[in-house]
Amino acid sequence: MAERRTAIATVCLSGTLEDKLAAASSAGFDGVEIFENDLLASRLSPAGIRRHCADLGLSIDLYQPFRDFEAVPPELLRANLRRAERKLDLMAELGTGTILVCSSVSPDAVDDDELAAEHLHALAELAAERGMRIAYEALAWGRFVNTYQRSWRIVRRAAHPALGLCLDSFHILSVGGDPAAIRTIPGEKIFFVQLADAPRLAMDVLQWSRHHRLFPGQGEFDLTAFTGHVLATGYRGPLSLEVFNDVFRQADPRLTAVDAMRSLLALRESLGLAELPEAPALHGHAFAELAAPAGEDVGKVLAGLGFTVAGHHRTKPVQLWAQNGARVLVNKTGERTAIAVDSEDPGRSARRAEAYLAQPLRRGREAVAAPDSTELFFCGGDDWLADFEPAGEAGRTAGITGIDHVALTQPFDQFEEAALFYRSVLGLRLDPVVEFAAPFGLVRSRAAAHQGVRLTLDTALVRRGEWAPAVREPQHIAFATGDAIASAKAMRALGAPLLDIPGNYYDDLEARLDLDPGLLAELRAQSVLYDRDEHGEFLHFYTELAGERVFFEVVQRIGGYRGYGVANAPIRMAAHRDRRLNGR
Ligand SMILES: O=C(O)c1ccc(O)c(O)c1
Ligand SMILES: [Mg+2]
């Protein structure tokens, strides 16, 4: 597998053909599929594109798509063969040997496999004369040929050495096709393989395919099983990504190409085929670091939550606040947000992150940049405490035991990438994507957790305009307590600015969940929110914003509750907004 070639279709990336090729090359792809529209709009001649790709170290593995060719009346066949000859000539200039032919969607096509095979045979003859090959792909919305089984029957019937299949995971998995039967196809008849994932959406399959595909591991299809079936046939060609996605189409292609390559690395690892440093065991969060520009009194809020200053960084204006196992760094330069995990082997964690194309950071400790530029530190136990001059402030406490999770607001364009990044680099498990209607628009959220490390990723679903207050939603840290009600009381006594929750919320809790009246009264009195799932219960409350961007949450997990109280997030957001506007 180390020698397995990787490719990416130019349609995955934003920009002109030159932008796309530069991005694919710098992310380390071996080859590209050139999408016809990218070539048509380019000022480079086909021979010029060939030279440009060679300079970039890219092979051109496929030219595509050629549409509506087969099973048509004779006069149309003549026109289609003529059209095909021009494209085969173009491919000779491009220096590529394989063209993708999509199954027909034309109203002129007829439902006749014999005729389709005959026509594809004629096309394969033209290709063979030039030493080229035809890869026939069944589109999920093909007029008559819409499964790979049917395209395979036609290819078998045509029985031409220059005619084979293109298998595209989307067309197979979107419509519930059984990929296991791929194993019955001889590998040498599979001429090309295109990989795409997608979220499960109940919608027209063409729209789904053209707008919502994702890179492997970012959606809900089982690309590991699919690719396993393909490789079992002895297929020797490249693993190529073909992802039509509205966000990727407008995002920086250099970032998208790295994301794409990371998805292939993760896929290979899931197949046991990649030589990557294994993810070391994690032991929860070591610390979280908040950017607190001068004038934002994060310290005052932390003191109210029962934290004390436990140290001062030896060289930087960074304070260490602690309460039992919860450690927060407050960075007065206001420069960065960082998360730090406690790793069994920080060096290996960093090597793995770099193998997964994370940007290493020179921070004196093992650290890399995540896609949203959050800094990710790998600590070994309490080794990092050596960077701090201890400050033996007296220990008050309000019941916090550690960091439960860190919520990271993601730039819209980086949401899918971030989930794949944290999953592959840290070995976190991803929860399904959830969406909720917040006061200022839809929010998409996804949690990633493993071995005591929990992150939630959020993004506004639609770019926001002037009205919405929080284009950059605040980041927040959630602390764990064994008793949320007791912690809330203790924190109020310490002067913590806890967020007030409206009475309507508690009336609804009462209606929906028939809670014990005593518990409900306590929740209401302390502005503690409540949720439950099939595993347990969740009590949580928030502070007001400390400055523009930072607030804290305190959570109590009872039983095996697995969630994050997402259903309550709109209540929190409205309350923060209310506070900001009315000073209440
Ligand atoms: O959406 C399409 O038309 C289209 C074209 C070429 C492909 O390889 C494909 O999977 C889809
Ligand atoms: Mg395809």
Ligand 1, atom 8, lies closest to the CA of 65
Evaluate: CB of 210 within 6 angstroms of ligand 1: yes
Q: Are strands 453-460 and 441-450 parallel, antiparallel or unpaired?
A: antiparallel
For residue 68 and ligand 1, the question of a CB distance below 6 A is answered with no
* Residue ranges of domains in the chain: 6-270, 282-582
Token pair for 334: 């206001």
The pair of three-digit structure tokens given for residue 3, joined into one six-digit string? 């020698």
Tokens of 482: 């064994």
Closest atom of ligand 1 to 210 CA is 1
Question: Residue 503: beta bridge partners?
Answer: none
Q: Are 506 and 543 within 8 A, CB to CB?
A: no
Which one of 35, 66, 139 would you pick to mutate in the ligand 1 pocket, going by the greatest count of ligand atoms within 8 A of its CB?
A: 139
Q: Which atom, in ligand 1's list, is nearest to the CA of 168?
A: 10
pLDDT for 1 equals 43
Give residues with Cβ within 8 angstroms of 261, minimum separation 6: 6, 27, 28, 29, 357
| Rounded mean pLDDT for each run of 10 residues along the chain, 584 residues in total | 83 98 98 98 98 98 98 97 98 98 97 98 98 98 98 98 98 97 98 98 97 97 98 98 96 97 97 94 96 80 96 94 95 85 98 97 91 94 94 83 95 93 97 91 94 95 66 78 98 96 97 96 98 97 87 97 96 82 54
Residue 165 token pair: 């299949």
CA 563 to chain centre: 19
**Cα–Cα distance, 461 to 456 (Å, whole number):** 15
CA distances from residue 300 to 212, 290, 304, 330, 462 in whole angstroms, order as listed: 45, 14, 6, 11, 34
Has 393 been labeled as part of a binding site? no
Location of structure tokens 């209440």? 584
At residue 466, the pLDDT reads: 66
- 3 state SS for 117-156: HHHHHHHHHHHHHCCCEEEEECCCCCCCCCCHHHHHHHHH
For tokens 């890219």, name the residue.
58
Task: Determine if residue 476 is labeled as part of a ligand binding site.
Answer: yes
Provide the whole-model pTM: 0.94
Q: Which helix (DSSP H) or strand (DSSP E) does residue 275 occupy?
A: none
| 235 dihedral zone (left: phi>0; alpha: psi -120 to 50; beta) | beta
The predicted structure's pLDDT at residue 517: 97
The separation between CA 421 and the C-alpha centre of its own chain, rounded to angstroms, equals: 7
Q: What number does CATH give the domain 6-270?
A: 3.20.20.150
Cross-strand pairs, 460: 443
Helix (H) or strand (E) holding 530: strand 529-532
At residue 584, the pLDDT reads: 46
The whole-angstrom separation of Cα 461 and Cα 437 is 10
State residue 297's pLDDT score: 83
What pairs with residue 321 in β-bridges?
309, 328
The atom number, within ligand 1, closest to the CA of 65 reads 6
Amino acid making up residue 281: A
Structure tokens at 178: 């059984």
Q: Does residue 168 line the site of ligand 1, with CB under 6 A?
A: yes
Which secondary structure element, helix H or strand E, spans residue 460, and what is its range? Answer: strand 453-460
CB of 242 within 6 A of ligand 1: the answer is yes
Q: Is 209 in the pocket of ligand 1 (CB under 6 A)?
A: yes
Q: Is the CB of 137 under 6 A from ligand 1?
A: yes
Distance CA(412)–CA(426), nearest Å, equals: 22
Does the C-beta of 102 come closer than 6 Å to ligand 1? yes
Domain at 282-582, CATH homologous superfamily: 2,3-Dihydroxybiphenyl 1,2-Dioxygenase, domain 1 (3.10.180.10)
The DSSP code for 543 is B
Give the list of residues 6+ apart from residue 515 with CB closer than 8 angstroms, or none.
509, 523, 530
Q: Is the dihedral of CA 21, 23, 28, 29 positive or negative?
A: negative
Separation between Cα atoms, residue 571 and residue 574, nearest integer Å: 5
Would you mind telling me the total number of residues written for the chain in this entry? 584
Instruction: Report the separation in Å between the CA atom of 137 and the middle of ligand 2, taken as the mean of its atom positions.
Output: 7
Residue owning tokens 């919405």: 468
Q: Where are the alpha helices (DSSP H) in 313-365?
A: 346-355
The per-residue b/e assignment along 241-272, b for 16 or more CB within 10 angstroms, e otherwise, is bbbbbebbbebbbbbbbbbbbbbbbbbbbbbe
Distance 192 CA to ligand 1 centre (A): 13
* Residue 139 CA to ligand 1 centre (angstroms): 7
Under 8 Å CB-to-CB from 48, ≥6 apart: which residues?
none
- Residue whose CB lies within 8 A of the most ligand 1 atoms, among 134, 167, 242, for a mutation test: 242
How far is it, in rounded angstroms, from Cα 503 to Cα 83? 70
Closest to 455 measured CA to CA, from 473, 430, 480, 474 = 430
Short-list 528, 433, 546, 516, CA closest to 488: 528
Residue among 184, 185, 208, 204 nearest 196 (CA): 208
